[in-house]
Structure 1
Amino acid sequence: MPATPSATSAGILLYRPGPGGPEVLLGHMGGPFWARKDAGAWSVPKGEHGPGETPLDAARREFTEEIGAPPPPGEPVDLGTVRQSRKTVAAFALDGSGFTGAGAVAGRTDDGTWVEIEWPPRSGRTLRFPEIDRAEWFDLDTAREKIVAGQRPLLDRVAGLLP
């Protein structure tokens, strides 16, 4: 029996120097399941892509859709892939020094990236939620507590790029 293909996603992990060391930009996953969760409820801004789009093109598109502002210019560094549940996530590190678009997530008026789910479960009622409801900068130690477990290796990889 052939294996079921897994979804592939791509995202951009912005980093910048911070007062206590390097910081990364993470997005808090939206919707009622994640509303009261903090540890393990944050993610690299990312999304799925198909065979007709390069991972880097998808990462740029998804960053813009989820954060509400395009990623800053610069040369992204390929961080490779990680497994998150049944999904493969390709990530790229990008210097976000001077990036001020993280606040664009809250109060967005465009369509952004939304997901429709049945909520409460088995209620027959479908509600619409943003995939990311806010974005914040975190030092690497705090980010390790906040990010979903499958993406933690990306933090180690970006730390290896920094002085």
Structure 2
Amino acid sequence: MPDRSAGLLLFRRAEGGLELFLVHPGGPFWANKDDGAWSIPKGLYEDGEDALAAARREFVEEVGTPVDGDVIALGEFRLPSGKRLSAWAIEGDLDPATVASNTFEMEWPPRSGKRAQFPEVDRAAWFEPDAARRKLTKGQLPLLAAFLRLPR
């Protein structure tokens, strides 16, 4: 069975219309990538774990702040990696400057034998839908399309 992940698409209604909260992955691989590199806060979950509870947990781990409120199911999406992503939208607001992500450790530089820690998320921002379409990874574009099809 492919890995499964779950995530939340935070959105808000601003003067100019809808804005979507996206995060940029930390670590050296993503450091110089922008368009096509951003994501919703998400992460893996185990068999038997509630996907929505996992999405909420991953949001806190990657952003540092819980979000409450009613969620809107966007569906399950197959990512290019083969993973299955279950996603929900939730209306809310937070300041991207307050993002405090957990960290991960990896060998860096490669084959050096040295270990380094990096934030799982190195920054976050609000984007209007057209900009979000450019920023999101290709595999997450269908969840954005599902969100934008929702009645407002």
Q: So what's the TM-score if we normalise by structure 2?
A: 0.92
Q: Given the alignment of the two structures, is residue 124 of structure 1 paired with residue 113 of structure 2, yes or no?
A: yes
Q: Given the alignment of the two structures, is residue 15 of structure 1 paired with residue 11 of structure 2, yes or no?
A: yes
Gaps of 5+ in 1: none
**What residue is the counterpart of 1:81 in the other structure?**
76
**What residue is the counterpart of 1:104 in the other structure?**
98
Query: Aligned to 1:152, what secondary structure does the other structure show?
Result: helix
Per-residue CA shift, 1:125-152, capped at 9, x if unaligned?
A: 2211111111111001000111111001
Note the C-alpha offset of 1:25: 0.4
Note the C-alpha offset of 1:123: 1.9
Gaps of 5+ in 2: none
- For 1:134, the aligned partner's letter is R
Q: So what's the TM-score if we normalise by structure 1?
A: 0.86
- For 1:81, the aligned partner's letter is E
Find the partner of 1:60 among 38, 56, 63: 56
Find the partner of 1:147 among 136, 144, 148: 136
Q: Given the alignment of the two structures, is residue 69 of structure 1 paired with residue 65 of structure 2, yes or no?
A: yes
- For 2:96, the aligned partner's letter is A
Aligned residues: 151
Query: Aligned to 1:32, what secondary structure does the other structure show?
Result: coil
Q: Given the alignment of the two structures, is residue 30 of structure 1 paired with residue 48 of structure 2, yes or no?
A: no
Q: Given the alignment of the two structures, is residue 156 of structure 1 paired with residue 150 of structure 2, yes or no?
A: no
Q: CA RMSD in A?
A: 1.4
